[in-house]
Amino acid sequence: MWDGGRALTGGVDQATITSVRAGGGDIVPSFGGASGTNVETSCTSATALAGAYQAVINAYGLKAIDIDIEGSTYSNTTIQQRVVDALKIIKTNNAGFTVYVTFPSGTNGPDSGMINRAAASG
């Protein structure tokens, strides 16, 4: 479900994606963000999180996703590692798939925690 309340397929989201594609465009869904319920918190393991991402990838035949790591959710080191590990599973299971990561940045630059975890995880 989108935002815990809208069906993944058959609704306005799928209709919009179909319309965008019919016009020659494509979409890159963004997970995370500063507000709302994040799937990264709802899923308690990297495998479950990768499964949630994969369900959306499969439902829409996606070529890419974006992970927007802003907000208090991503200050949690357990969640940071869960996201990194889930994205590694996604990249392994989807040849040629692109993952974008949007980092928030303050006056001191981005939080290096996610960057360092991703680098350490390969």
- So which residues are the catalytic ones? 70
| SS3 at position 95 | coil
Residue 2 three-state SS: strand
Exposure string (b/e) for 18-50, b if CB count within 10 Å is 16 or more? eeeeeeeeeeebebbbeeeebbbeebeebeebb
Rounded Cα–Cα distance for residues 52 and 65 (Å): 12
